[in-house]
Amino acid sequence: MSKEKVVLAYSGGLDTTAVIPWLKETFGYEVICCCVDCGQGEELDGLEERAKMSGASKLYIENIIDDFCDNYIMPCVKAGAVYENKYLLGTSMARPAISKKLVEIARKEGAVAICHGATGKGNDQIRFELSIKALAPDIKIIAPWRMTDLWTMQSREDEIEYCRKHGIDLPFDSKHSYSRDRNLWHISHEGLELEDPSVEPNYDDLLVMTVPPEKAPDKPEYVTMTFEAGIPKSLNGKEMKVSEIITELNALGGKHGIGIIDIVENRVVGMKSRGVYETPGGTILMAAHEQLEELVLDRATYEVKKEMGNKLAQVVYEGKWFTPLREAIQAFVDVTQQYVTGEVKFKLYKGNIIKAGETSPYSLYSESLASFTTGDMYDHHDADGFITLFGLPLKVRAMKMQELAKENQK
């Protein structure tokens, strides 16, 4: 009789490597590893050998970079979705994309369960599990770090010793380093000195994708981008797909110290956590998109879209990607993007993105209206009546307060 199968979300790190023999030993499962490539780069090197050595029967390495960029990143860029005014959702956007692929592999393999290595304190457990529940409610979810009666390892030392006892020789030591998550959009850092909000980050040791702004070139660099219906189409005159544009922007942004944020954020589970995020290309792309958008959206639409962008950021951060609410917000945003077409120019200089001009065939900017000279469409006398009506509630209230004050003085 064949064993039941479990699909493990596998990164190749110590945690998920230790999970492989634990799953076999604890549940008797055949372990199918699945590493979902969202642009981790060299982190994928040597994974197959490590997974097999650890006891997995099979490893899938699934490249979803373009899917990640087109169907998860771009809806958030078009919405201007930023969590708590700083975080550009790099990890949050990737988790539903990864979960969808895990479900696909589980269906293909006939697996009865999906296992992830997220801890019981973080946001990722919620993002993985809500996505899996929405896509495959019949599949069991295993979260070792929450199963404290069965998963007894509490430290890296424990995991290394567990692997050693199972004949797994790994290139990990017991010294704890930054906890990182990387994909094409960003890299996050937690741990070490970052756990004390009063301590400045050790950027010389910490940064991976960028340089500190003070070490960026002393000369600014101009960049030109074009968009069609909110989607980037070209960079410096060269047409590319979204994933290629983000890759190029990462190089440009990293060179000029763009996109470093140090944030104390509110996790879904209720605690505050401190982390540093590097999002060089994403920061540029978001700024360029907003630069064009301010030219073509009317005031009322822009105002509501800002609210929807904030709401989408919360929805995505909380792991609720596969929900009717996310679909509805995205549908609204897509309507607002129909005419976000044109060209933006800006320069990068020591951590700054400085506007250098923007054009669009759908621009609502009228030079004759905006100039200080009187144009045909604007009569200054019309402002009298407008201000009278616009300020009427204020005037009525002020008159009432004056009347009450006089009565009180009697």
Point out the residues that are catalytic: 15, 95, 124, 179
Q: How far is CA 51 from CA 118, 164, 199, 320, 378, in A?
A: 18, 15, 38, 31, 70
**DSSP label at residue 70:** I
Distance in angstroms (rounded) separating the CA atoms of residues 140 and 162: 25
- Token pair belonging to 81: 């979705």
3-state secondary structure of 347: strand
d(CA 184, CA 103): 22
The token pair at 218 is: 């002393």
Whole-number Å distance between alpha carbons of 116 and 16 = 8
Structural contact between residues 258 and 284, judged by C-beta atoms closer than 8 angstroms: yes
d(CA 137, CA 140): 8
Q: What SS3 state is found at 137?
A: coil
The Cα 190–Cα 181 span in angstroms is 9
Output the CA–CA distances (angstroms, integers) from residue 70 to 127, 132, 251, 257, 388, in the order listed. 19, 21, 20, 26, 49
| Alpha-carbon separation of residue 362 from 108, 234, 354 (angstroms) | 47, 18, 23
Alpha helices of 146-191 — where are they, by DSSP H? Answer: 156-165
Q: Is 91 helix (H, G, I), strand (E, B) or coil?
A: helix
* Contact in structure between 245 and 235 (CB atoms under 8 Å): yes
